[in-house]
Structure 1
């Protein structure tokens, strides 16, 4: 009923979501199915349809698309200030002429041919991050500035290094939400967009501040549209590892992940990053995970330290055992550099890995990718195999 009422296409990219609610409408209270129908077509929509749970009749509906075409928009280049005070020059945005003579600026980048846009929203308002000038320099703007700037950096990497047009390689919009939750110490890819919490100010600062965090979350989008590694056990650890590895490749200052989002309390306690690819064991795991490892309670860097976690803890160790693959990649990169590492791992992700691949299969196809690109017996192929050998994932 919901799809028919909004004339949605027969084939939808996203399955409609539904929840049962009490819906007040025109003085009455209805038990209703609140259905969200999202689609792209000549008349795109992000419809919310309320269907009477008793009669099946549509009570109410509205389109929450926030269509940009309602405005006269022009590409514009401005500046912004990030969470740590960095000046973000050449910040691509849109100049918008609203009703009357007022002009304002939105973090909506439509400057890339073949890309639907890089769009940064404030989660609390549901609207694009907007300012009255092209200088987004207030403290309130900072999370949005970093998310927008970092999204373009990650897009550029995949486009320039791998000729990949956005996360799906078909130019899908790169959408970020900032200011999620209250004191929320996390960021995530939800299958459609990136969402960043602002942290609690002590353990974490706004998570959009980290280029490697943005690269990590956006790489989850790439993974979803390629190997689509199942998010539990070893396949899930590979999913997390590839996100970490490309995070460290794109943010090439070091081999740590999340160093720019750690708050003063965390740093004082010695937690200067979330994870380390170069030295995984410098950081402890959650106390609940310790009994399932070798007893030292640190992130593993070798299969001898593998955590045999049950599914209900971290989906079987997706954020823990990933550090073994991370370390293998780091060791390989010490021999051949970040660029070749990225080429090899990207090829394996796009052409070889499957949803249920495990560590042993990953070694096989990643080494094969190095051979494909650089030749059997090449320095790159040998370094790739050596990285896995050193972490105990040996050739069968």
Structure 2
């Protein structure tokens, strides 16, 4: 069976698995602010198109995961099976195949960055947690680049990664940040494991888990310890003239950008700033700053490579089968403390995890 036939077979099977309804790495509040406040007409129009496409892709729903998961055949477990396609600025997925597994680099840097980012994420999960691709059964990793006209987003649609080129004014090409690729593919990991409901606090946890492991993909690729990492999501995505450093900061939620076109980063770092919102599925991209900050605090307190102990604790909770799809912050926090104690005992790791949740106001100090 050829690589294209394998991808087509997996695509057919994956289409019967529930796709997450997240809207991509750029949250709607940023795009909505651009529509309302950007002075550049082309930027406003790009944001409007991006919002419309995001809404379209959020409409996917199908079978429950256990029934569909059993349909998936196993493939190579130790090497990625990547296919990158070029949509040539249309919206006709998957596009034309331009690079397959093992093929040499091409003349298009966007294609090669997507290929490398898929590989970096596969390598991270295999090396850190012995997970074989995002479904743990060797799922081929497919991507489409140059999607749409000046599309300001990147997302996992339930079966493939899709990258826009950005508007060229505020947003750069969405393949430039490996943590963005890790973030979106981790939505796939969540899809195949905890399947956290994408609304309210469980939805914020869904987003936060993707930020956590997206950051860890980058840290692993760079060989960084927790104290050397930037803890930014989407560094490099914002164009030079934008007053900001990234889409989100796990170290200091609410400080990633402050720009006339983008607005001011609204993420809270603690429960004192929790946002009750009817938009964005109950503020999933806003309140994710709280568990993001908890992980940052735990990881830096534990020290060393963040994927080894702090990341292992979060991974145990995400994939252990003990967390409900509707879990709130308090339930997830309790699960991480319990997971730390189970794996490492009631020592420094468990204390660091508990104290991190205390600092963000999810666990109250006894």
- Same fold flag (TM > 0.5): yes
Conserved 8 A contact 1:280-1:299: yes
Aligned to 2:272: 304
Greater percentage in strand = 1
The 1:137/1:264 distance shift into structure 2, 3 A limit, reads: farther
Give structure 1 stretches of 5+ with no counterpart. 1-7, 17-39, 45-109, 291-295
Give the structure with higher Rg (CA): 1
Mapped contact 2:14–2:158 kept (Cα < 8 A): no
Within the candidate set 246, 251, 257, 2:233 is matched to 257
Asked if 1:373 is matched to 2:346, the reply is no
CA distance in 2: counterparts of 1:220 and 1:320, whole angstroms: 17
8 Å Cα contact 1:284/1:298 also seen in 2: no
In structure 1, what is the equivalent of residue 164 of structure 2? Answer: 197
1:155 Cα deviation (Å)?
0.4
Measured after TM superposition, the shift of residue 201 of structure 1 is 1.3
Aligned counterparts, 1:22-33, within 5 A: none
Q: Could you tell me how far apart the structure 1 residues matched to 2:314 and 2:13 are? A: 31
Q: Deviations over 1:355-380 (max 9, x none)?
A: 1000010101011111111002x100
Number of residue pairs the alignment of both structures matches: 280
Residue 119 of structure 1 deviates from its aligned partner by 1.4
Instruction: Determine helix, strand or coil for the equivalent of 2:254.
Output: helix
User: Residue 388 in 1 paired to residue 353 in 2?
Assistant: no
Report the TM-score, using the length of structure 1 for normalisation.
0.65
Q: Which residue of 2 aligns with 1:273?
A: 246
Report 1 or 2 for greater relative contact order, CA contacts < 8 Å, sequence distance ≥ 6: 2
Q: Which residue of 2 aligns with 1:236?
A: 203
Q: Which runs of structure 2 are paired with 1:331-370 in the superposition (5 Å)? A: 331-337=297-303, 338=306, 339-351=308-320, 352-370=322-340
- Contact kept, 8 Å, 1:262 with 1:272, in 2: the verdict is yes
Please provide the CA RMSD for this pair.
2.9
Distance (whole Å) between structure 1 residues aligned to residue 139 and residue 16 of structure 2: 17
Q: After superposition, give the CA deviation of every residue in 1:222-280 in whole Å (9 maximum; x if it has no partner).
A: 000000001111000000000001111121241000012221232xxx22100000011
Structure 1 residues 170 and 115, CA gap change in structure 2 (3 angstroms): farther
Would the aligned equivalents of 1:283 and 1:298 in 2 still touch at CA under 8 Å?
no
CA deviation map 1:327-381 (0-9, x unaligned):
01001111113021110100010113221000010101011111111002x1000
The corresponding residue for 1:70 is none
| Mapping for residues 1-396 of structure 1, pairs under 5 Å | 14-15=15-16, 113=77, 117-124=81-88, 126-130=95-99, 136=105, 138=107, 141-252=108-219, 253-266=229-242, 270-283=243-256, 298-310=266-278, 313-337=279-303, 338=306, 339-351=308-320, 352-376=322-346, 378-395=347-364
Moved >3 Å (runs of 4+): 112-116, 134-138, 283-287
- Residues of 2 paired with 1:320 and 1:286: CA distance? 17
- CA apart distance, 1:286: 11
Q: Do the aligned residues in 2 keep the contact of 1:194 with 1:218 (CA within 8 Å)? A: yes
